[in-house]
Amino acid sequence: MRSLRQKSSSAFYTIKLYFLELTILARLHLWEEANKCLSQALEFAYKKEMRPYVYKLTYIRTHLIILEEGHKDSPEVYRQAILALEQMIDTHRNMVQNLERETFLMVRLMRIITASKPDEISGLISHYSPDTQKLLNAIYAHIQGDSTTIDELLHMRSFYIVDGVDFPTI
Domain that holds residue 119: 2-167
Predicted confidence at residue 155, as pLDDT, reads: 73
Predicted confidence at residue 23, as pLDDT, reads: 92
Profile the chain (170 residues) by mean pLDDT over runs of 10 residues.
78 92 93 96 95 93 90 87 94 88 91 88 88 92 85 74 76
Predicted confidence at residue 50, as pLDDT, reads: 93
Number of domains in the chain: 1
- For 102-138, the pLDDT digits (tens) are 888 999 999 999 998 888 888 888 889 999 999 999 9
Radius of gyration of the chain (CA): 16
Tell me the C-alpha distance between 142 and 150, whole Å. 9
Q: What is the pTM of this model?
A: 0.88
Predicted confidence at residue 70, as pLDDT, reads: 79
Q: Closest by alpha carbon to 95, among 143, 132, 122, 134?
A: 132
